[in-house]
Amino acid sequence: MTDRLDAALADLASAIEFPRTPELRSAVAARTAEPPRRGWLAPLPRALALALVALVLLATAAAALVLVVPGLRLTLVPSLPTASVSADPLGTRLALGTAVEVDEVAAFAPEALGPPDEAYVVGDREVVSLVYSASTELPELRGAGIGLLVQAIDGAIEGDQVEKLAVEAGAGVTAVSVDGEPGYWITGPPHLLRYIGPDGEQRSEATRLVGDTLVWARDGTLYRIESGLGLTDTRRIAESIRP
């Protein structure tokens, strides 16, 4: 389908009509000849500007517990609510039958592990899950036959689109850095992932596995890896996902 869709889009492009490009040069020249307008911060003395920045940083630090990762809110609760999606949170299995699909899935696959054994998508690819079978290198996660799970949750991460609910008793939450991006290392009992899909509807799903989880956001995509490898090795794998 991908090749045909590509061809159809190329055909559609030939039928697209843009408005005529206006003459821009003279208008741009007239505006560049004017002195630039000063920004709102420009008239402030440098010391005052720095004090303002410090205040903002302090406010950010106060909210750091819940807003370290862009788009992600981590909430500790006494007990988990019921998940709205629980049957098969990994979604529909991709056949991985064509070179194109293999190549496209590889965009999310950590180079340290190579291609996954299985790949799944939820809805319209709002969540892509890559499954690696348990092996001598990847300890099995609670009898599921799975050694490691990579999930990429799509969306322009704006506001708090993704919320993780973890049981406050027993959950270990450590702020970490993944390739320079802020993230969490979450250990302990199962937690609930709640996010807003591209359709604007809120969804929630219980994590099917109970491995420790590394979660971080990069370029509008929220990533999570569940594994039994510990933080150091899990982070090494996370950082081998191509930027």
Determine, following the binding rule CB under 8 A, whether residue 62 of this chain makes contact with another protein: no
How distant, in Å, are the alpha carbons of 65, 86, 100, 103, 158 from that of 149? 25, 17, 22, 18, 25
Determine, following the binding rule CB under 8 A, whether residue 143 of this chain makes contact with another protein: no
Residue 160 pairs with which residues in a beta bridge?
A: none
Burial 149-163 (b: 16+ CB within 10 A, else e): bbbbbbbebeebbbb
Based on CB atoms, which residue is closest to another protein, 82 or 219? Answer: 219
Interacting residue with another protein among 13, 61, 62, 63 (CB under 8 A): 13
Find the part of the chain contacting another protein (CB under 8 A) among 18-26, 61-69, 142-150, 164-172: 18-26
Interacting residue with another protein among 83, 220, 231, 239 (CB under 8 A): 220
| Residue of 225, 205, 236 whose CA lies nearest to 148 | 225
Based on CB atoms, which residue is closest to another protein, 146 or 153? Answer: 153
Shortest distance, position 228 Cβ to another protein, whole Å: 26
Shortest distance, position 102 Cβ to another protein, whole Å: 12
| Residue of 74, 83, 69, 223 whose CA lies nearest to 154 | 223
Cα separation, 45 vs 197, in Å, equals: 44
How many Cβ atoms are within 10 Å of 171's Cβ, its own excluded? Answer: 18
Based on CB atoms, which residue is closest to another protein, 94 or 192? Answer: 94
Are the CB atoms for 241 and 214 separated by under 8 Å?
Answer: no
Determine, following the binding rule CB under 8 A, whether residue 40 of this chain makes contact with another protein: no
Residues that bind another protein (rule: CB under 8 A) add up to a total of 49
Binding region for another protein (CB under 8 A): 1-2, 4-6, 8-19, 21-25, 27-29, 31-33, 36, 104, 107-108, 121, 123-126, 128, 152, 154-156, 198, 218-221, 242-243
